[in-house]
Amino acid sequence: MNFRIRPAGHIRVGPPRSAAPLRIVAALALSLASAAGLCGAQQKPVRVVALNTVLAEIAQVVGGNQASVQGLLQPGVDPHAFEPTADDLRAMMQADLVLASGLQLESYLDRLVTRIDTKGRVLLIGDALPNPLWADEHGRHSDGAREKDPHWWHSIDNVIVATGLVRD
């Protein structure tokens, strides 16, 4: 057995472990509890369109059987090169909620929102995160200013916050 004294004076018994799996389990438990709370009322499922595979998975877990989730971006497709089809636009217009990565990852999104009626139901997850990731030296402007990294899901803390945003 391994004993470690933590900075706050707490003693931990057992092998060292990463906090990341615990955070994932906590986020999923929170999501499932939220979905379970929605199950009491028999309503038509909320129609959700996700423009990112991670957001589609979060929406499916959070919404459970109370959400009908359609992911427009299929696994393996480059989100930077994705261009929505006419069917994708129709799905977005009919959705109760459209989930987007934000932070300009979906370069087409601004044009779409002005052209189609989404009734303000587009949630830009990356734009709503309190602690975004920052781009490396390749993400700098000519004046040296840094950009926010639109790949927010590379941080488990951001995934947990994103799960709460989708839930709420």
Output the pLDDT for position 30.
55
What pTM did the predictor assign? Answer: 0.66
AA letter at 166:
V
Helix (H) or strand (E) holding 115: helix 109-115
pLDDT tens for the chain, residues 1 to 168? 444 444 444 444 444 444 455 455 455 555 555 555 545 556 899 999 999 899 999 999 999 999 999 999 888 888 878 888 999 989 998 999 999 988 777 877 877 777 777 666 888 888 888 777 776 655 444 445 567 777 788 888 888 888 899 998
Environment class of residue 45 by beta-carbon count within 10 Å: exposed (0-12), middle (13-18) or buried (19+)? middle
Query: Which segments of the chain are extended strands (E)?
Result: 3-5, 11-13, 46-50, 67-71, 97-100, 122-124
Q: What is the pLDDT of residue 31?
A: 55
Q: State the pLDDT at residue 81.
A: 83
* 3-state secondary structure (DSSP) of residue 154: helix
Residue 140: per-residue pLDDT: 47
DSSP 139: G
Provide the pLDDT for residue 148: 79
Which pLDDT belongs to residue 108? 78
pLDDT on residue 119:
66
- At 27 the pLDDT is 55
Pairwise CA distance, residues 113 & 115, whole Å: 6
